[in-house]
Chains A and B, each alone.
Chain A
Amino acid sequence: MFDRDIWQEIYHSISNNKLRTFLTGFSVGWGIFILVLLLASVKGMQNGFTLQFSDDATNSIFVRTGTTSLAYGGFEAGRRIQMTNDDVEYIKRSFPNDVEYISPRVYQNTSARYKSETGSYNIQAVHPDHQAIEKTIVNKGRFINTNDLINASKVAVIGRKVEEDLFKSEDAIGKFVEFNGLPFRVIGTFTDDGDDNAERNIYAPTTTYQKMYGQTDHIDQIALTYNPNYDLTEALAFSDRLENVFRRRFKIAPQDQAGIRIFNYAEVFEDISNFTGGLDIAVIIVGLLILLSGIVGIGNIMVFIIKERTKEIGVRKALGAEPWSIIKLVLFESVFITALSGFIGLGIATGLLAAIGPNIQTGAFANPSVSMSMVVTATIILVVAGVLAGLIPAMKAARVKPIVALSDK
């Protein structure tokens, strides 16, 4: 099929019409170029979103309770739902395979003082697991550990901003800082890529705060991460199960949104992937339409070439060329022009992305790139496009009557 003669024919046809071939090829190359860049942009947005949310573990779930808004199970509306340490243990027991890390949160506002410096901060009283859930980066000292929890030690891990505010140039580790008048020893400091506000937080052991404030076992929130192997559906299914269990446990009406709120990051990701998926489709459609104009261009040129070569085709037929061999000639030329110019467009686009993609790192846009599968798909599209572009002209060529070889025009 791919003998030298066909290549020679294609070579002659192209080299006799360099400008025409270039202009036509350009439209297809341009189409593929745009398509690849658009798809890469969507990929960049996807990367950007993922990066934004990856500050917190992307597989995290937060459970908050509030005041019921509906009467249910014999209780009137307006009941305050209060979670306790037991609920954390209960989740651990009930979902041993689903839960990766889990920690309660107790919130407390505090005015902190070190020497003459004071400031007002949020304290989150948590378990050691919390470090993994929030992806806290401890840059000095350590995070809260199990011993701190058991002993209800008065220790604190403070954010970088807190350290800056209170300790100025001093090293905070090992120093004592007063929270609402009570001394806590600073055991670590942390930073957070996400935002500066997160660095104004202070972490302390849950038990310490529960003991200090009324010997309760109350907690404000439960933060947990689920099995990282879960995909989106499994993750959403798990948070649904969790919610059902909690609604039963606290006797909250199934439709009561105020009583309990379970926030699953997977939902956000579902929204994002729906969004970018939709965008992908839109981009593919736009890209294909651009490509289509290129295909029409090539088809147009091929029709013209056939018209120009009618006599030659007639002579070939008189010499014994079968229709199929004429069709083959036209199709190959069309596929060749389409594929070659498409690959050039593809090459320039991927080259451009490889060169500048990794340097693009703004808020919601990061590292636009193309995948191998996209390149393969584009190639298939190109070959199909070439065949489509050549089909009508090829049929036209096959219908040329050999009798034209005899007419002297």
Chain B
Amino acid sequence: MIQIKDLHKSYKMGKNSLHVLKGINFNVEEGELVAIMGSSGSGKSTLLNILGMLDSSDSGEYILDNVPIKDLNETKAARYRNKFLGFVFQSFNLINYKSAAENVALPLYYQKVPRKERQEKALKYLEQVGLKEWAGHLPSELSGGQKQRVAIARALAAEPKVLLADEPTGALDSKTSYEVMDLIQKINDAGNTILIVTHEPDIADMCKRIVHLKDGVIIEDKKIEQVRAEQYV
């Protein structure tokens, strides 16, 4: 699903250049649930930005679902993001004046899906995350866990190839975190490819594979026995 070869990225900080990614190589197969771990400054966020086409690499190869991702202009990147990727953010990033259903329907709007179909799909995905009754509520009327579940529904609505989650449990207490992870695991069980950036070991343990980053290189890449979140819920 994802093939990355010798990925480099550096940022210019005044006169100095900061080499953040120093040759990353890794592949993700369809249906994997991968945790990307590392302390701050390890380059995990930069890697996620590049995977999410929010940023571009200096050199190296990035192939997503057999499509080489390069020479993107804004419009093309937006289309690819819309088509291939679903995002889940640490701070949920729901649009505060839109109801839960409207938030979920937003990526579909950018896919130019007709209004009625959008609403139907939004309800379907809200049901999947167990929030169908909350469809008409504004984000301010939802709890943190509910917000993140709406955000996950939004990421799923576009039916992306890969789900990218940036510290999805970072703003949640542990109980809610496990609920969200339970949901993520179930989505993964259904065959979706998911990448999670996290620095919490217990969250990483709930994935099927952990990729450890340090100082811009992968120092460890191992398959693990998945801890089911269900038991903590």
Instruction: Verify if B97 is at the interface (C-beta below 8 Å from A).
Output: yes
Cross-interface CB contact of B78 among A311, A317, A403, cutoff 8 Å? A317
Q: Give A16 to B79 CA distance when docked, in angstroms.
A: 30
- The answer to whether A322 touches B54 (Cβ under 8 A) is no
- The answer to whether A405 touches B89 (Cβ under 8 A) is yes
Beyond contacts A318-B87, A319-B82, A320-B81: 16 other A-B pairs, Cβ-Cβ < 8 A, are: A3-B115, A12-B98, A311-B93, A312-B95, A320-B79, A321-B110, A322-B75, A322-B78, A322-B79, A402-B77, A403-B54, A405-B54, A406-B49, A406-B52, A406-B89, A408-B91
Contact (A315, B49) CB under 8 Å given A320-B110, A321-B78, A405-B89: no
Instruction: Verify if B133 is at the interface (C-beta below 8 Å from A).
Output: no
CB distance from B5 to the nearest CB of A (A): 23
CB distance from B52 to the nearest CB of A (A): 7
CB-nearest residue of chain A to B114? A3
Chain A residues near B97 (CB-CB < 8 A): 12, 16
Q: Give A311 to B89 CA distance when docked, in angstroms.
A: 12
Most buried by A among B78, B87, B95, B98: B78
Cross-interface CB contact of B158 among A312, A320, A321, A405, cutoff 8 Å? A320
Chain B residues near A320 (CB-CB < 8 A): 78-79, 81-83, 107, 110-111, 158
Q: Give A401 to B54 CA distance when docked, in angstroms.
A: 8
Q: Give A311 to B158 CA distance when docked, in angstroms.
A: 20
- Cβ proximity bits A371-409 to B, threshold 8 Å, 1 near / 0 not: 000000000000000000000000000100111011010
- Cβ proximity bits B40-64 to A, threshold 8 Å, 1 near / 0 not: 0000010011001011000000000
- Cβ proximity bits A218-234 to B, threshold 8 Å, 1 near / 0 not: 00000000000000000
Cross-interface CB contact of A323 among B49, B55, B75, B87, cutoff 8 Å? B75
CB distance from B136 to the nearest CB of A (A): 14
- The answer to whether A408 touches B106 (Cβ under 8 A) is no
Instruction: Verify if A325 is at the interface (C-beta below 8 Å from B).
Output: yes
Chain B residues near A405 (CB-CB < 8 A): 54, 87, 89, 93
Instruction: Verify if A161 is at the interface (C-beta below 8 Å from B).
Output: no
Chain A residues near B82 (CB-CB < 8 A): 319-320
CB-nearest residue of chain A to B77? A402
Cross-interface CB contact of B81 among A4, A319, A323, A398, cutoff 8 Å? A319
CB distance from A114 to the nearest CB of B (A): 90
Q: Give A321 to B77 CA distance when docked, in angstroms.
A: 10
CB distance from A187 to the nearest CB of B (A): 84
Chain A residues near B90 (CB-CB < 8 A): 408
- The answer to whether A5 touches B74 (Cβ under 8 A) is no
Q: 8 Å CB contacts to B: which residues of A163-221?
A: none
Q: Give A406 to B154 CA distance when docked, in angstroms.
A: 16
Instruction: Verify if A328 is at the interface (C-beta below 8 Å from B).
Output: no
- The answer to whether B89 touches A323 (Cβ under 8 A) is no
Q: Give A315 to B52 CA distance when docked, in angstroms.
A: 12
Contact (A5, B109) CB under 8 Å given A319-B154, A320-B78, A406-B54: yes
Chain A residues near B45 (CB-CB < 8 A): 406
Instruction: Verify if B166 is at the interface (C-beta below 8 Å from A).
Output: yes
B-side interface residues, number (CB < 8 Å): 31
28 A-B pairs in the complex with CB atoms less than 8 angstroms apart: A5-B109, A12-B97, A311-B93, A312-B95, A315-B93, A316-B106, A317-B81, A318-B87, A319-B81, A319-B106, A319-B154, A320-B78, A320-B82, A320-B83, A320-B110, A320-B158, A321-B110, A322-B74, A322-B110, A323-B74, A401-B54, A402-B54, A402-B77, A402-B78, A402-B81, A403-B49, A405-B89, A406-B52
Chain B residues near A406 (CB-CB < 8 A): 45, 48-49, 52, 54, 89, 166
Q: 8 Å CB contacts to B: which residues of A1-25?
A: 3-5, 12, 16
Q: 8 Å CB contacts to A: which residues of B95-143?
A: 95, 97-98, 106-107, 109-111, 115
CB-nearest residue of chain B to A317? B78
Q: What 5 A-B pairs are tightest by C-beta distance, nearest first?
A: A320-B82, A320-B110, A12-B97, A315-B93, A322-B78
- The answer to whether B95 touches A315 (Cβ under 8 A) is yes
Q: Give A317 to B80 CA distance when docked, in angstroms.
A: 11
CB distance from A181 to the nearest CB of B (A): 98
Q: 8 Å CB contacts to B: which residues of A271-316?
A: 311-312, 315-316
CB distance from B135 to the nearest CB of A (A): 16
Instruction: Verify if A324 is at the interface (C-beta below 8 Å from B).
Output: yes
Chain B residues near A16 (CB-CB < 8 A): 97
CB distance from A220 to the nearest CB of B (A): 84
Chain A residues near B89 (CB-CB < 8 A): 315, 405-406
- The answer to whether A4 touches B158 (Cβ under 8 A) is no
Q: Give A398 to B75 CA distance when docked, in angstroms.
A: 10
Q: Give A12 to B79 CA distance when docked, in angstroms.
A: 26
Chain A residues near B91 (CB-CB < 8 A): 408
Chain B residues near A5 (CB-CB < 8 A): 109, 115
- The answer to whether B109 touches A324 (Cβ under 8 A) is no
CB distance from B20 to the nearest CB of A (A): 14
- The answer to whether A319 touches B110 (Cβ under 8 A) is yes
Most buried by B among A12, A402, A403: A402
Chain B residues near A403 (CB-CB < 8 A): 49, 54-55
CB distance from B63 to the nearest CB of A (A): 20
